[in-house]
Structure 1
Amino acid sequence: MAVEYTRQKQLRKRYKTYGWFDHGNFDHGESSHPSRHIRFADRPRQPVTRRRSILNVLGKLDPASKMTLGVVGFILLSAPALVILSKISLFGVQYLCQKNILLQGSGICNHAWTKPSTSILPSVPAGKTPLTTTFDELLEMNKISPSLAFVSMPLFMIKTNLSTILPAIQSDLPGTNVDTLRKSSSKAFQLADQFSTRDNEYRHSSSIWNVHGIADFSSSIEELWTAIPARSDYNTWSTEILNNNVPFRSDETLNYQVLSHYDNFIMHQLPYIEDLVFSTGEAKLAIQELLGRIGKLENEMIKNSHYAHADTLGIMRLSANWTLGVVTRAENHYRNLSSSLFSLFKRLGPEMESYENWWGLFASRNAVSVSRLREIVLAESGQLQELFAKAMPVQDAVQRVVEEFMQDEDEAQKKILWKLEEAAREGRLEWM
């Protein structure tokens, strides 16, 4: 027992002496004892081992690869500073060009990055929007909507009546050439009817004329109104600054969302309006030709004392002249619409690209404040409500007249023709 006790005591003493802080500096002669110091002695060497591994990998690379890695690393580390310094430099050059310190005709002042910005939103007057001219023209177009719906009807009656009186004219005045007049009346009616149909299709498919389209347009404005905060706080300001200066995030700014709203509107409206401008031009030329031939034949009837025929031709001339007035006014409004939207489209293009492309970081976007954005969106909503309030009653009234015309064609046709003739005699383009 004494021997066993002595042996256990020696073992405890040996383990105590061979402690955690003894990194194998003493050999106790116990070769079977586990070397507990090994893992603790090895741990500090792990970073050294990783470093050596990295150095070994780099050592195996050729000089070109090392240079490439160095350049990439430098760019990644210095890119933010370079972007900031470049923007500051560009703003400085823009300021010097605007103050005429640098010549405006010089190449540096005419460059796309340094040329003074022609941003759309900052140039909008208070209480107006980029689409104010568009809505003004549409309100003027609304006044002649009933006339546009029946613009081809007088020409149809001219065509029908000419087929009745032209044989009698040829009989009374042999040798009178009436074929060209007959062809002119058919062509004028065809082109005027084509224009009226296209105008009607535009109103039913446009996002601003029909009820569903106005609801969609209003919903788009409401989304913008919701997205723009009621007031600009630090969070909104910092988010806008961040999105404006981080590559490929500029299209998340509030300014870009508002500009996208106008860009989408123009992309949907402009093709219709340009087609209507072309259609009104064709119809206008055909009606002018018809008027010239009617007037010439009317003068011949008066000269040869055929006053009955002359009176009939005079009524036709008044009706054709009324149609020409309606088509001419529509052409003017549609041309103004087309010019206004196309001008806005040309200015929107470069500005949208400055938000969508990486090089836009170096461009001066001239963004407006959050409060100004809310003012523009609020004004847009007011303009849309005004158009809706004035256009929808007129559209409903025209629809009722068309339905009556389809249900009782003879009676409705006589009633409409009488009103159209009365408007023509009085020189009024509006007949309802």
Structure 2
Amino acid sequence: MPLAPTVSSSGADLVVVLNCGSSSIKFAVFDPGIEPLPRKPLWNGKVQGIGGPKPDFGESGVAPFPVTLDPARPYRDALALIRGRILARLDGRRVGLVAHRVVHGGNRYFEPVRVDAGVLDDLRGYIPLAPLHQPFALEAMGILLREYPRLPQVACFDTGFHHSLPDVEKLLPLPWDAWQRGLRRYGFHGLSYAYMATVLPERHGDAARGRTIVAHLGSGASLCAMQGLESVATTMGFSALDGLMMGTRTGALDPGALIYLMEIEELGLEEVGQLLYHRSGLLGVSGISSEPRVIVRHEDDDGEAGERARMALQLYVRRIVREIGAMAAVLGGLDMLAFTAGVGEHNAFIRERVCRDLRFLGVELDEAANGADAPVISSADSRVLVAVEPTNEEWIAARQAMECPGVAASSGSPGRGRR
């Protein structure tokens, strides 16, 4: 498979960002020698379908193509594939730093931190709180620590942005000793929200600095209420299961339902985990897909299939609207609503349905702008500015890693085809 041409750049050591999930690894390569750091990477790509029957690899300038991964260790093979592709495109350059998106930093890590064996061991303790992402990011870190021990790695935390939450938003209504043990609402999608806090005021000025709600709607989904560009409330809590209905996750759920499932239906802990994380949400209700764009094609079907499709999307939208109303109450009103991530950026019909039900807040949509995924989709007479803004978690991670104290390019970095 021919490689895409190498992109011209400054000659400085490069920064690689890894975003590891359970079935995919995304990567992006940035040139820190160009100031300010460009928001568009030199190149990026991903291996997807890891652990499935048909994994593939794609990167900028190269059409996706099927790859073969060892079924016994597909994740290690996927990382090796990415490493090989990056080395092949370095053109004499070196990788000087690797940044990792880490979903959970627990009650200890709020700022980016250089990875060593002790940090890695600490972060393993948070795997039960983010089982879809945490173990895979840590696996990548462990492999690089063993194979390139002098290569600086930095963990950048999705929970970090929400460190500004007031205590009343962090506190869970459990006995006080739970709070003292670190059981609290953490919030997630922080790298995405950190980017929104950067780009929204650049594009929209003071409107973004007021009472703003950002809707990160992807396979995982959450809302963040911002005041002065800081997080003051968010829908995800102790784990990435809380809040909005998602692609395969429940979102907020009556804990009594879990007690019932475990006590009456005798589901074990592992079965309940699979149910909550992988078999619920849009997929579970619709029985069709975790993707709204797929489900909406079945709304007019006859019988149960059509009814389930309609109910799944109605519930998905209802939960978003309900939580935006709650966030607006916390903020004391709403000046700006911004949609981001895969569903938020590309599903005009979801945005239309959400905004239709938010007219009581003064939201008025421009249908043509919404259909075109325009940066501003509210009408001129809307009291609330409604925006669509692509997120850029990788750029935030690269920038945070570069600013992490004690991090510098290392002569032990991979590059020029050697270790």
Q: Normalising TM by the smaller chain, what interval?
A: under 0.3
Which of the two has greater helix per residue? 1
TM-score by length of 2: 0.18
Give the structure with higher Rg (CA): 1
- Between 1 and 2, higher relative CO (CA 8 Å, sep ≥ 6) is seen in 1
